[in-house]
Structure 1
Amino acid sequence: MFRTALRNVLAHKARLLMTVLAVLLGVAFVSGTLTFTDTLGEAFKKSSAQSFDHVSVAVRPHSAREEDRPKLDDALLEKFGKLPGAESVTGTLSGFTALAGKDGRPVGDGWSAQGTNHFPGPDGEDPRHRFTDGRAPQGPDEVAIDSRTAERTGYRTGDTLRLSADGSVRTPKITGVFDTDDGNVAAGGTLTVFDNATARKLFDGDEYEEITLQAAAGTSERELRQQVAQVLPEGLKADTGRQLADEQAEMITEQTSAISNTLLYFAAIALFVGVFIIANTFTMLVAQRTKELALLRAVGASRRQVTRSVLLEAFLIGLIASVLGFAAGIGIAVGMRAAIGATGAELPDGPLVISPTTPLVALAIGVLVTMAAAWLPGRKAAKVPPVAAMNSVHAAPTARGLVVRNSLGGVITAIGAAMLFLGVSGGTTALLAAGAAAVLIGVIVLTPLLSRPVVAASAVVVDRFGVAGRLARLNAVRNPRRTASTASALMIGLTLVTGLTVVAVSVQTAVDKMAVGLMRADYVVTSVIGPGLHPEVREKLDALPEVAATSPMRQGNADLDGSYQKVTGVDPAAVGKVLDLDFAGGSLAGLAGGGALVDQETADAAGLATGDTLTLKFYDDDKTEKLEVTGVYNGNQMIDGIFVDTAVIDRHQDKPRDYQLMVAMRDGPSPAAEKSLIAASDHNPAVRVQDKAAISEEISSVVSLLLNMLYGLLAMAVLIAVLGVVNTLAMSVFERKHEIGMLRAIGMDRARVKRMIRLESVVISLFGAVLGIGLGIFLGWAAGTSVRDTLEAYTMTVPWDRIALFLALAGLVGVVAALWPARRAARLNALEAIKAE
Structure 2
Amino acid sequence: MVHERRRLLPTLMAVVLGVAFLAATLMMSATIKSSIVSQTSASVDGADAVVAADASTTVPASAVSQMRARPGVSAVEPAISTTLQRSDRASVIEAHITPALDHGSTLVSGRMPRGAGEVAVNPLAADSGVKIGQKISLSGFSEGAGARRLTVVGVIDPGPRVSPNNDQQVYLDAATLMSLRGEQGYDTVYVTGSGGQDAVTSAIKSVPELAAEGITVRTADQQRQVLADNALAGSSAMTGFMTAFAMIALTVGAIVIVNTFGILVAQRAGSLALARCVGATKAQVRRSVLADALEVGLAGSVIGVAVGAGLAQLVVSVAGNSTNVLLDRWVSVSVASVAIPLAAGTLVTLLAALPPARRATRVPPVAALSPVVAEPTRRVGRARLATGVALFVLGAALLAWAATGADSMAPALLAGITGGLMNFAGVLVLAVVLIPRLARAIGRAAGRIGGMPAELAAENAQRNPGRAAATVSALLVGVTLIVMTAVGAATGQSTIDATLDKQFPFDASVSTGSQPAGPAMVQAIDRTQGVAAAGAVPQAQLSLESSGRSTTVTAQGYGPQVRSAFRDTTPLNGLDDRHALIQAPGVASGDKVTLSTGGRSVTLSAVVPEGADTSLNSATLTTATLTKVAPGAQAHLVLVRYADGTASADVTSALTTALAPYPSANLSSASDQRDQLEQIITIMMVLVIGLLAISVIIALVGVANTLGLSVLERTREIGLLRALGLTRRQIRAMFGHEAVQESVAAIIVGLVLGSAYGIAGAYALLGSEGLAAMHVAIPWLQLAGVTVIALAAGWVASVIPGRRAARISPAVALAGE
TM range (shorter): 0.7 to 0.9
CA contact (8 A) 1:24 1:322 kept: yes
**Does the Cα contact within 8 Å between 2:75 and 2:192 map onto a contact in 1?**
yes
Matched, 1:221 2:197: yes
Secondary structure in 2 matching 1:207 = coil
Structure 2 counterpart of 1:499, which letter? M
Distance 1:377 1:299 in 2: 22
Unaligned runs of at least 5 residues, structure 2:
140-146, 527-533, 540-552, 594-603, 621-634
Task: Confirm or deny that 1:792 pairs with 2:776.
Answer: no
1:597 aligns with 2:574: no
CA contact (8 A) 1:493 1:717 kept: yes
TM-score, length basis structure 1: 0.75
The answer as to 2:395 corresponding to 1:416 is yes
> Judging changes above 3 Å, is the alpha-carbon distance between structure 1 residues 200 and 53 closer, same or farther for their aligned structure 2 residues?
same
Letter of the 2:792 counterpart: L
1:538 and 1:552 in contact (8 A); partners too: no
The residue that corresponds to 2:218 in the other structure is 239
Distance 1:665 1:435, change over 3 A: closer
- Secondary structure of the residue aligned to 2:103 is coil
Q: How far did residue 477 of structure 1 move?
A: 4.4
Tell me the SS of whatever aligns to 2:608: strand
1:792 offset after TM fit, Å? Answer: 1.5
Q: 1:307 deviation in Å?
A: 1.1
Contact persistence 1:288–1:394 (CA under 8 A): no
Find the residue that maps to 1:165 and give its secondary structure: strand
Q: CA deviation at 1:415?
A: 3.2
Q: Counterpart of 2:289 in structure 1: which amino acid?
A: V
2:700 aligned residue: 722
Residue-by-residue CA offset, 1:115-162 (whole Å, 9 max, x unaligned): 322354xxxx43152557886555678765556777xx4999x96677
The residue matched to 1:377 in structure 2 has which SS? Answer: helix
Aligned pair partner of 2:342 in 359, 363, 367? 363
Q: What amino acid is aligned across from residue 205 of structure 2 in structure 1?
A: A
Measured in 1, the distance between the counterparts of 2:636 and 2:32 equals 33
1:254 and 2:237 matched: no
Counterpart code for 1:295: L
The whole-number CA distance in structure 1 between the counterparts of 2:515 and 2:677 is 25
The reply to whether residue 383 of structure 1 matches residue 362 of structure 2 is yes
Query: Residue 813 in 1 paired to residue 793 in 2?
Result: yes
| Residue of structure 2 in register with 1:524 after alignment | 508
**SS of 1:58's equivalent?**
strand
8 A contact 2:116–2:172 mirrored in 1: yes
1:597–1:629 contact (8 Å) kept in structure 2: no
Aligned: 1:300 with 2:279:
yes
Which residue of the partner structure matches residue 88 of structure 1? 75
Q: Which residue number in structure 2 is paired with residue 758 of structure 1?
A: 736
3-state SS of 1:487 partner: helix
Give the structure 2 partner of residue 511 of structure 1. 496
Paired position in structure 1 for 2:690: 712
Inter-partner Cα distance in structure 2 for 1:306 and 1:659: 87
Distance (whole Å) between structure 2 residues aligned to residue 384 and residue 72 of structure 1: 83
Aligned residue number for residue 625 of structure 1? none
Distance 1:21 1:390, change over 3 A: farther
> Aligned pair 1:550/2:536, yes or no?
yes
Query: Do 1:80 and 1:228's aligned partners in 2 also have CA atoms closer than 8 Å?
Result: yes
SS of the residue 1:794 aligns to:
coil
- Report the equivalent of 1:773: 751
Q: Displacement, 1:735?
A: 5.2
Secondary structure of the corresponding residue to residue 208 of structure 1 = coil
Question: Which of 607, 615, 631 lines up with 2:607 in the alignment?
Answer: 631
Q: Which residue of structure 2 lines up, in the alignment, with residue 501 of structure 1?
A: 486
Deviations 1:539-572 (A, max 9, x none): 488733355633499xxxxxxxxxxxxxxx9761
How big is each residue's C-alpha offset from its partner over 1:333-361, in whole Å with a ceiling of 9 and x where there is no partner? 5678899x79x997755354444323222
Q: Closer, same or farther in 2 for the Cα pair 1:162/1:283, shift >3 Å?
A: farther
Distance 2:614 2:269 in 1: 74
Shift of 1:47: 9.1
Task: Return the alpha-carbon distance in structure 1 between the equivalents of residues 476 and 515 of structure 2.
Answer: 55
Q: After the TM superposition, which of the residue ranges 135-144 and 793-802 deviates more from structure 2? A: 135-144
Are 1:551 and 1:570, in contact at CA under 8 Å, matched by a contact in 2? no
In the alignment, structure 1 residue 72 sits paired with structure 2 residue 48:
no
Confirm or deny: 8 A CA contact 2:256 2:474 kept in the other structure: yes
2:446 — aligned with what?
462
What does residue range 195-206 of structure 1 map to in structure 2 within 5 Å? 206=184
With over 3 angstroms needed to count, the CA separation of the structure-2 counterparts of 1:749 and 1:354, relative to structure 1, is farther
Does the 8 Å contact 1:23/1:322 carry over to 2? yes
Matching of residues 480-495 of structure 1 within 5 Å:
480-495=465-480
SS in 1 for 2:43: coil
1:739, distance to aligned residue in structure 2 (A): 5.1
Maintained 8 Å contact 1:90/1:213:
yes
Partner of 1:24: 16
Rounded to whole Å, the distance in 1 between the matches of 2:21 and 2:373 is: 31
Structure 1 Cα separation of the partners of residues 289 and 646 of structure 2: 71
Pairing of 1:9-408 with structure 2 (within 5 A): 10=2, 12-35=4-27, 51-61=43-53, 64=56, 72-73=60-61, 75-96=62-83, 113-120=93-100, 125-130=101-106, 136-138=112-114, 146=122, 153=127, 164-166=137-139, 172-180=152-160, 182=162, 184-185=164-165, 188-194=166-172, 206-216=184-194, 219-233=195-209, 234-235=211-212, 236-331=215-310, 348=325, 350-351=327-328, 352-388=331-367, 391-396=370-375, 402-408=381-387
| d(CA) in 1 for partners of 2:514, 2:479 | 53
Alignment match of 1:572 (pick from 544, 556, 562)? 556
- 8 Å Cα contact 1:678-1:689 kept in structure 2: no
Tell which deviates more after alignment, 442-451 or 55-64. 55-64
Q: Which residue of 2 aligns with 1:566?
A: none
Unpaired runs of at least 5, structure 1: 1-7, 527-532, 554-568, 614-627, 648-657
Deviation (angstroms), 1:438 = 1.2
Describe the shift of the 1:506–1:308 C-alpha distance in structure 2 as closer, same or farther (beyond 3 A).
same
The 1:581–1:438 alpha-carbon spacing in structure 2 relative to 1, beyond 3 Å, is: closer
Aligned residue for 1:471, secondary structure, equals helix
Structure 1 contact 469–756 (Cα < 8 Å) conserved:
yes
Instruction: Give the whole-Å Cα distance in 2 for the aligned partners of 1:541 and 1:79.
Output: 57
How far the C-alpha of 1:727 sits from its partner, in A, is 3.1
Cα pair 2:470 2:706 within 8 Å, conserved: no
Cα offset for 1:589? 7.5
- Residues 167-205 of structure 1: CA distance to partner in whole angstroms, max 9, x if unpaired? 5665624455455365542xx323444465765666567
Question: For residues 555 and 313 of structure 2, what CA distance do their matches in structure 1 show?
Answer: 52
Structure 2 CA distance, aligned partners of 1:518 and 1:581?
10
Describe the shift of the 1:179–1:518 C-alpha distance in structure 2 as closer, same or farther (beyond 3 A).
Answer: closer
Offset, 1:467:
2.8
Alignment RMSD (CA, Å): 4.8
Amino-acid identity (%): 27
Partner SS for 1:126: helix
Is the 8 Å Cα contact of residues 145 and 178 (structure 1) preserved in structure 2?
no
CA contact (8 A) 2:33 2:232 kept: no
Q: Is 1:722–1:813's contact at 8 Å kept on the other side of the alignment?
A: yes
CA distance in 2, matches of 1:732, 1:369: 24
